[in-house]
Amino acid sequence: MDLEIIYDKIYRYVYFRIKDQTAAEDITQETFLRYISKKGSGIGFEMRYLYTIAKNLCIDEYRKVKHDSMPEDYESEALQSPGIPEEKIMIREALSKLPEEDQEILLLRHVNGESAGTISSTLGISRFALYRRLKSAEDKLRENLEVGE
């Protein structure tokens, strides 16, 4: 797999977790630095190991910084933005109602396109448990989208 594609997947994963572009860039770089320092040349990146490093760095970031919540008028501002289609806003709102674990599974599977093996190894669960949780997350997202219409 191309290094740029791998980098983008890790960046999306980190950005999803911490919602800060600068910190996400820093954590993504730190993820690769730690991987290379442990594994050597970096040829043949193991995605589950990269996700594990990134996840731990995100946890460390949460411990360091207390994130502010969204302002109350965020929703009305977002709806008035000309560059953001309504469907994207509805999807973001529906996703935000899901537990973080479900959001993470959906991101890894549908946005980053990771295999069930990689996701189950990263999360430390069996493939069977992953399929159950993925189906449940997809059902909850579908429900949230139907309620929002």
Q: What is the 3-state secondary structure (H, E, C) of 33-80?
A: HHHHHHHCCCCCCCHHHHHHHHHHHHHHHHHHCCCCCCCCCHHHHHHH
Q: Is the pLDDT of residue 146 over 70?
A: yes
Question: What would the pLDDT profile of 17-51 be if each residue is shown by its tens digit?
Answer: 888 999 999 999 999 999 988 877 656 678 888 99
Domain residue spans of the chain: 1-68, 73-149
Work out the pLDDT band at 11, boundaries 50, 70, 90. Answer: very high
Does the fold of domain 73-149 match that of domain 1-68? Answer: no
Q: Is the pLDDT of residue 133 over 70?
A: yes
Give the fold, CATH level 3, of 1-68.
Rna Polymerase Sigma Factor; Chain: A (1.10.1740)
Which of 16-25, 35-44, 99-108, 126-135 shows the lowest mean pLDDT across its residues? 35-44
This prediction's pTM: 0.68
Check if the beta carbon of residue 94 is closer than 8 Å to that of residue 138: no
Right CATH for 73-149 from 3.30.930.10, 1.10.10.10, 3.40.920.10, 1.10.287.610: 1.10.10.10
Q: What is the CA radius of gyration of the chain?
A: 17
